[in-house]
Structure 1
């Protein structure tokens, strides 16, 4: 991964906070499962890391350190250690990696690296800025060609499908603008054909803020993802 290019990207477009294109397990990660949301809900200010972009890069490239940092930051502000979405994401990541006997390595990412409190506020950003915030996600998809992409929420699903179709990675017939999230979920694994010749699948699911600590309502999703690796 090009660290110089990553540093330039995370500092782009804002004077107060860093963009967050991903959180990886470690610096040497080679992820094969992407969990994709629409965008981060909370930002990390440059002052939070003393304007040290290298420290920030080290954080997002070390999941355990990143989670400790977020937890401490929230507690200092009188908030809960983790949001409902973060709890669900943590649990899903842990269950997939553990239940696959480490055959799965997850990269946490988003369609857009700009943090906003709600998806609605992301839509209000100028289109050119919003487009630039997606560049690193597109780069990650092409570089790692994940075997499984788990996309959560309707907004993220629509944006991902439009990009995959525009780049001829999935069949255009898959997309239907009238689909509800339930319709996307019911499609099951959607095949991806990467430009490199690699293949993968997309699973659509509801927002991870509904996951909880056990993720009982997401059991079928976990089983379907694990099956993809059992069959390889």
Structure 2
């Protein structure tokens, strides 16, 4: 993981890149939740690098930091997306004991996609390289991608990095269609296969994810294999 940690610092003027947040050792996480990019910028002037690395490997501590950060910005303690992620993970843990790692195809944190698109392209390239390195280092067994842009970027990166990729439904190009095929794809990461499921962004999930019911019913069978 040293190669990843060595790249998360850009300068004191930029937030740390966030390769993941995990429930302990990231290499023991068999399930990945993959979004587009983190939404909580943490500057090196706020936390030293060692403390930051420890924080992203301790999910409960990170969540506490996240809530305090949002309150300091006069925001609600938790965003719609975070609320959806927490609700989905609570549901998911009924069917698996596997550790879960949250990551993003762009590891550069911004509070909106509009801001993300304004970031120096060279930095964004590095941020995507870090995501690919997390995939290579951790080699999950199940990857759940939420959001169309995240899915498109993931599959682009898979092709660029020459991962063996098999898509089960090549006719689906809308997120609502992609969600109906579970698994949607399978990827080979250095000899280890992982199933890929794709769904709508978790900002729409809410408390129970009722509109995700068909996706979850199909996902249950896949999760049992992890």
1:125 corresponds to 2:125: no
What is the aligned partner in structure 2 of residue 192 from structure 1? 186
TM superposition shift of 1:211: 1.1
Query: Using the alignment, how far apart are the partners of 1:101 and 1:172 within structure 2?
Result: 25
The alpha-carbon distance between structure 1 residues 65 and 229, as it changes in their structure 2 partners (threshold 3 A), is same
User: Matches of residues 103-114 of structure 1 in structure 2 within 5 Å?
Assistant: 104-114=98-108
Greater helix share, structure number: 1
Residue 86, structure 1, aligned to residue 82, structure 2: yes
Distance 1:13 1:207, change over 3 A: farther
Paired position in structure 1 for 2:62: 66
Greater Cα shift, 12-21 or 109-118 = 12-21
Q: TM-score, normalised by structure 2?
A: 0.88
2:95 maps to 1:100: yes
1:149–1:87 Cα change, 3 Å:
same
Cα pair 1:142 1:194 within 8 Å, conserved: no
Distance 1:14 1:131 in 2: 19
Which residue of 8, 11, 21 maps to 1:23? Answer: 21
**Closer, same or farther: CA 196–6 of 1 in aligned 2, 3 Å:** closer
Residue 77 and residue 122 in structure 1: after superposition, are their counterparts in 2 closer, same or farther (change >3 A)? closer
Corresponding residue number in structure 2 for 1:170:
165
Checking the alignment, whether the CA contact within 8 Å between 1:153 and 1:206 is kept in structure 2 is yes
1:143 aligned to 2:141? no
Between the aligned partners of 1:56 and 1:86, the Cα distance in structure 2 is 20
Q: List gaps (5 residues or longer) in structure 1.
A: none
Deviation at 1:153, TM superposition (A): 1.1
Number of residue pairs aligned between Structure 1 and Structure 2 = 225
Q: 1:14 to 1:211 in 2, by over 3 A?
A: farther
Question: Is 1:226 paired with 2:220?
Answer: yes
TM-score by length of 1: 0.86
- Please report the RMSD computed on the Cα atoms of aligned residues, expressed in angstroms: 2.4
Once structures 1 and 2 are overlaid, which stretch shifts more, 107-116 or 181-190?
181-190
Deviations 1:47-74 (A, max 9, x none): 332xx11111111010000001111222
How far the C-alpha of 1:105 sits from its partner, in A, is: 1.4
Contact 1:162 1:175 survives alignment (8 Å): no
Residue 157 of structure 1: how far off its partner (Å): 0.8
Match of 1:32 among 17, 23, 30: 30
